[in-house]
Amino acid sequence: MTPKKPLPNHPPIRRAPWRGDRRLVTAVPYGWLIVFFMIPFLLVFKISLSESTLAVPPYLPLLEWTQTGVMNIRLNIGNYLRLLLDPFYASGLLASLSIAFIATLCCLVLGYSIAYGITRLPQRWRYIFLLLIILPFWTSFLVRVYAWMGILSKDGLLNQLLLYLGIIAEPKQFLYNNFSVMVGIVYCYLPFMILPIYSVLEKIDDSYLEAAYDLGCSPWRAFWRVTFPLSLPGMWSGIALVFIPALGEFVIPELLGAPDNLMIGRIIWIEFFNNRDWPIAATVAVVMLLMFIVPIMVLQRRQLRRRG
């Protein structure tokens, strides 16, 4: 009898991944967006198309049934026309855009310098400086803003320091103006600019700079031709993280700004709680939200085209 040949050792059969797992994983973020973004946005958009009235809630319903069983639909687009024709809202929007733009530019210059300086440090010192940058987040946001009120007031630390150095002869008004608002925004949102830029700069391979030096580039030219272009994704992320919340900021302008300096966040607060005009406040919120979403979509499309 011929001996039997041993059976070959086949690798274990792997089952194909179940598509339901992938759908479940992707359903979690989509469900989060639908519940906490899309549904509230639709509710605010519905209020923006209604009319204001003295009732609870202070707006008329969009759908109304008559006694004969006919459903009437009331869509009020006058709120959006009011935003275009009333200079009060246009001035508030322009003030918000200008302050947010200047504050974002200051954060970009300071944040890029700080992030680049941290990447030049030894590895053991980087974590210490990053900890110092994140450390203010462990305290309350209101406490940090109130601290700047004490620093910028007429009898505050800044005026006392300038008087001691002989730079000024009498205390200056650094509080309750656009300067104090921009200082508060830059201070509170500067870490959101530093961290994305640092995360990108840290991943840049030093061999790129060495190759640039070997080809005759000076350190300054190598920075502009190699480091700066590679750090653009972190810069765009930092700009979005700073500009978008700064545009709709309410607490900092309310505490540090002048009473007549109405940014868009303060306008929404006044219309909601002081004037109780919920439709116009919802209209301002919808327009501001669209101003946030459109630049993000444009940046995402640009990044997808570059990757493609």
Residue 226 CB partners (closer than 8 Å, separation 6+): 204, 208, 209, 212, 217
pLDDT value at position 76? 87
pLDDT value at position 288? 86
pLDDT value at position 23? 77
pLDDT value at position 281? 92
pLDDT value at position 14? 58
Q: Is pLDDT at 17 greater than 60 in this prediction?
A: no
Q: Is pLDDT at 166 greater than 80 in this prediction?
A: yes
Contact by Cβ (8 Å): 204, 116: no
Q: Which of 34, 84, 80, 96 is nearest to 262 (CA)?
A: 96
pLDDT single digits (tens) 46-66: 999 998 888 888 888 888 777
pLDDT value at position 301? 79
Which residues face 71 on adjacent strands? Answer: 65
Beta pairing class for 71-73 and 63-65:
antiparallel
Exposed (0-12), middle (13-18) or buried (19+): which is 126, by Cβ within 10 Å? Answer: middle
- Whether cis (ω within 30° of 0) applies to the bond prior to 6 is no
| CA distance linking residue 291 with residue 307, whole number of Å | 25
pLDDT value at position 6? 55
Model-level pTM? Answer: 0.82
pLDDT single digits (tens) 89-118: 888 888 999 999 999 999 999 999 999 999
Instruction: Decide which of 2 and 229 is more confident.
Output: 229
Over residues 108-134, mean pLDDT: 92
Over residues 167-193, mean pLDDT: 92
pLDDT single digits (tens) 274-284: 888 999 999 99
Distance of CA 127 to the CA centre of its chain: 25
pLDDT value at position 16? 53
DSSP state of 153: S
| CA distance linking residue 128 with residue 17, whole number of Å | 44
Which residues face 72 on adjacent strands? Answer: 64
pLDDT single digits (tens) 191-223: 999 999 999 999 988 888 888 888 888 889 999
| CA distance linking residue 301 with residue 307, whole number of Å | 10
Band (39; pLDDT cuts 50, 70, 90): very high
| CA distance linking residue 3 with residue 268, whole number of Å | 89
Using DSSP, how many helices (H) and how many strands (E) does the chain show? 15, 2
pLDDT value at position 8? 55
- Report the SS3 class of residue 64: strand
Over residues 165-194, mean pLDDT: 92
